[in-house]
Amino acid sequence: MNRRESLACLLGTAAASASAQTPSAMSLASAVDAVVSLVQETVATGAVKAAALHVQRGEERHRHAFGTADSDSMFLLGSITKPFTALAVMILADRGALKLSDPAMRYLPEFSEGDRAKVTIAHLLTHTSGLPDQLPDNNAMRARHAPLSEFVAATVRTSLSFAPGTRYQYQSMGILLAAEIVERLTNQPLPAFLAETVFAPLGMKRSVLGVGSFQKDDLVSMQTDRAAPEAGGGDPTAKDWDWNSDYWRQLGAPWGGAHASAGDVAILLREFLAPSGKVLREATAREMIRNHTPGLGADRGLGFQLGAALGKGCSPAAYGHHGSTGTFAWADPATGTSFVMLTSLPKNVSGDLLLDPASDRVAGMGG
């Protein structure tokens, strides 16, 4: 029996068990049991070295760590970092320091040539600015350990692929410019701003953009030999800039360089299910998980993926994000459920193998 057949068997057995139990809480527990079995299998085969799972509905919590991970292990989040950066922008919006409709060039005057003058902060946060995902010289810049300031300088000179607001195109560099705006307005590095305004108020003690005061032993090592080329995967010459390098871990890329535990990611997600007011006003929190890109072929909130982009079983109101580092997290207001799975195995492998089937199983439990 191959791994996919084994997965089908595991999930099928869990479904039969769940069908015999009518309470939704029992159904959720059965789904989690199936996911746990799946992760344990992939760890036992050596396919995954470390993983953490956090599933919650109401007060019911299921927390598991696998392989070399424990409950406090901090994983490289990849693009789950993007909602963190968007949240920093919206904190400034709450303070009246900026508006989503503001042109980016108001805060980045060098970003004003041609259609760049039409790019708004909303465009940066919804992947509709026309900027690229990564710069043409991305790999070369990483290889020479370029600082974020060099990425910013190159991005503001980069041509747009389309008129702002007319199309959707996933773009990490738009998130980078949003982060730069936060730093210029606050005169504070984004890692420090997030620590002060998000992580501390919410009690996220195992979260950081970059490395901060944490030690290398706190961070789960990535299985970069199985990563996609843009992460240096499979390239022995890229070890000084791949996801495990000190350069990348410490860079604090606002589009993909945060580290956190599964429990901390769950705290952040659930803050939008029932806003406490510790970070954002309730209306602002709701704005972040509203669809800002209707008719553009993708449903995006501010920094968040929405609805169908998160997989089978999620309602249109669901919000969250994938990470190319092998991470996946979402929450669904329709059921009050949150799902976080963090792994050491890059998404180009772990997506089909583990992340998507696990998410689909939990999401399919309904309310």
Q: What is the 3-state secondary structure (H, E, C) of 137-174?
A: CHHHHHHCCCCHHHHHHHHCCCCCCCCCCCCCCCCHHH
Decide if pLDDT at 358 tops 70: yes
H or E element at residue 180: helix 172-186
More confident residue, 287 or 312: 287
The sheet that has 305-306: what strands, in order across it?
60-67, 50-57, 337-343, 327-332, 319-323, 305-306
Query: pTM here?
Result: 0.91
More confident residue, 252 or 14: 252
| Residues with Cβ within 8 Å of residue 269, at least 6 apart in sequence | 319, 320, 329, 330, 331, 338, 340
Domains of the chain are: 75-82+90-96+189-363 (3.40.710.10)
pLDDT in tens, 280-304: 999 999 999 999 999 999 999 999 9
Of 21-30, 112-121, 249-258, the one with minimum mean pLDDT is 21-30
What secondary structure letter does DSSP report for 193? H
If DSSP codes are grouped into helix, strand and coil, which group holds residue 330?
strand
Burial 338-361 (b: 16+ CB within 10 A, else e): bbbbbbbbbbbbbbebbbbbbbbb
Share of the chain above pLDDT 90, in %: 84
Decide if pLDDT at 366 tops 60: no
pLDDT band at 216 (very low <50, low <70, confident <90, very high): confident
Report yes or no: 74 and 259 within 8 Å, Cβ to Cβ. Answer: yes
Decide if pLDDT at 51 tops 70: yes
- Sign of the CA dihedral running 100, 102, 106, 108: positive
**Gap between the Cα atoms of 327 and 51, Å rounded:** 9
For 258-279, what is the mean pLDDT?
98
DSSP conformation letters of 47-68? S-SEEEEEEEETTEEEEEEEET
Decide if pLDDT at 336 tops 50: yes
Q: What pLDDT is stored for residue 23 in this prediction?
A: 40
Q: Helix 81-94 to helix 262-271 angle, to the nearest 10 degrees?
A: 40
According to DSSP, the β-strands at 50-57 and 60-67 are antiparallel
pLDDT in tens, 74-97: 999 999 999 999 999 999 999 999
Place of tokens 């992580």: 199
Place of tokens 């990483």: 142
